[in-house]
Amino acid sequence: MSMDAVFRALADPTRRQLLDSLHARNGQTLNALCEHMDMTRQAVTKHLAILEEANLVTTMRRGREKEHYLNPVPINEIAERWIGKFERHRLDALSDLKQRLEREEP
Amino acid sequence: MSMDAVFRALADPTRRQLLDSLHARNGQTLNALCEHMDMTRQAVTKHLAILEEANLVTTMRRGREKEHYLNPVPINEIAERWIGKFERHRLDALSDLKQRLEREEP
DNA sequence: TTGACATGCAACCAAATGGTTGCATATTAA
DNA sequence: TTAATATGCAACCATTTGGTTGCATGTCAA
């Protein structure tokens, strides 16, 4: 599980959409994931393979179906690379504040 | 500052190395950054332009030199996208534990 | 002012990337 | 067993990407 693979995997908008889809509903099969996508099944398969190689997605064979699960660990490691622990808490607080302000404004 | 630009920027190992370099010493000029890199100055310029467009790097003109600064905000937003707040604390604790264990082992 | 230094712009090229189509394999259900 | 369903593999193609070289511009210092 090289970090390089993780970053490369996250670079593509389709793959991020797949992660979003799994974040919303975990354990989806290939066909289920394909339904939201506007491309062939084979293209989606390739993207999932890249996500798997990056260890961002874990799979489980169940009969003739393949279930896909999101793995958040590598994403957390990204944040830890360039953000110090203290700075990170500060940024989280800032982002919370921003969200609260956005919610309160008309 | 689109998220897409951020992910695309982080996809390349050279650009991540540039971020590392700025994380180690902030405010470096183009030439300073070039010294660690094994490619032409023009190539580095292109990479920095992509990092700037992603708002991962901020620049300040000082005379004929251009200083480059790391901006951690977009990186924090990545982590917030796929990791819930509670889960994130758990992952941080886990990563801390792992580091401590690695340090203690021979 | 003039030469040296720091950066900017543009054309060009090889390789990687994201997509397609076509066919193969494996499992379930009738 | 057999037809339908779910996934896998491979060849092929257009576009993007990361790099180069060559030249232009702008600023500092002698």
What ipTM does this complex have? 0.81
Residues B14 and B62 in one domain: yes
* CATH number of the CATH domain containing A59: 1.10.10.10
B60: CB within 7 A of chain D nucleic strand: no
Do A1 and A50 touch, CB atoms closer than 8 A? no
Any alpha helices (H) in chain B, and if so which ranges? Answer: 3-10, 13-24, 30-36, 41-53, 73-82, 85-104
Residues B26 and B67 in one domain: yes
Residues B53 and B21 in one domain: yes
Residues B17 and B48 in one domain: yes
Chain-centre distance for alpha carbon A10: 7
Q: How far apart are CA A95 and CA A76, in angstroms?
A: 17
Residues A11 and A48 in one domain: yes
Residues B25 and B47 in one domain: yes
> Does residue B102 register a pLDDT over 70?
no
- Count how many domains chain A has: 2
Residues B44 and B83 in one domain: no
Looking at the complex, does the CB of residue B71 fall below 8 Å from at least one CB of chain A?
Answer: no
| Model pLDDT for residues B70-97, shown as the tens digit of each residue | 998 888 777 777 666 566 677 677 767 6
| Model pLDDT for residues A7-54, shown as the tens digit of each residue | 999 999 999 999 999 999 999 999 999 999 999 999 999 999 999 999
Looking at the complex, does the CB of residue B2 fall below 8 Å from at least one CB of chain A?
Answer: no
| Model pLDDT for residues B22-33, shown as the tens digit of each residue | 999 999 999 999
Partner residue opposite B83 with nearest CB, options A4, A75, A82: A75
Range of the domain at A63: 3-71
Residues 27-86/A with CB within 7 Å of nucleic chain D are 29-31, 41-42, 45, 64-66
Residue of B nearest to A84 (CA): B72
Residues A37 and A79 in one domain: no
pLDDT band for B106, please (50, 70, 90 cuts). Answer: very low
Residues A37 and A7 in one domain: yes
Partner residue opposite B82 with nearest CB, options A70, A77, A87: A70
| Shortest CA to C1' contact from A61: nucleotide | D7
∠ Cα B8 B78 A97 (to 5°): 135
DSSP one-letter code for A90 = H
Residue B69 pairs in a beta bridge with: B58
∠ Cα A77 A81 A86 (to 5°): 100
